[in-house]
Amino acid sequence: MTSDDPVVGVLSIQGDVREHINALGAAGARAVPVGSADQLVDIDGLVIPGGESTTMSKLALRDGLMEPLRAARRAGMPMFGSCAGMIMLADRVEDARPDQETVGGIDMTVRRNAFGRQVDSFELEVPVAALGEEPFPAVFIRAPWVEGVGEDVEILATVPRGGRDGTIVAVRQGGLVATAFHPELTGDSRVHEYFVSMVRQTQVRKRE
């Protein structure tokens, strides 16, 4: 690590924080847990981890984090959400509690637990062109999927699951990226490397 490495926070109110911190370190970032609004000013990018999206939303509201997270996103902070984090970055959520709030920012509709319950978890080799020719060993745990996206959203990966072809499981819109699967559980750091490269690009643009 060097002083030029980006500082990437992992939202630490709920979910698999440690695994993301380890994966970000392997991807060349200085990773730190973020559990309060004042810590957002010290980071260059943020990961919203997998976990339970309803609980995560409630805790973010309780701790006064939701509005600062939205403000950071609007100000251009790169963010990556995995599984529950994908739900947190969605503008619209199906099968959610009526009072569930999100950070938003990606023009997509996400369906919670679309792939089934914990017992329906699975692993699948998923082609992701942005990561190279080798498929990514994706881990799906109570995973959402994307029902639909707006015209400014880039579809990064789809899988033939849920009784239909082309089910969307990874997207990007500007400085926001989200996956329905858990890359932090695989030992393959390519998704985190992809996100860290986005953070570096944002740093360069800010200096110009």
Show which residues are catalytic.
83, 182, 184
Instruction: Compute how many other C-beta atoms are within 10 angstroms of the C-beta atom of residue 36.
Output: 13
Number of neighbours of residue 49 by Cβ within 10 angstroms: 26
What letters, b where the CB count within 10 A reaches 16 and e where it falls short, cover 61-80? eeeebbebbbebbeeebbbb
- In sequence order, what E strands does the chain have? 7-11, 30-34, 45-48, 79-82, 90-94, 106-111, 122-126, 136-140, 145-149, 154-159, 167-173, 176-179
Cα separation of 72 and 78, whole Å?
Answer: 9
For 15, the token pair is: 């979910």
β-pair partners for 96: none
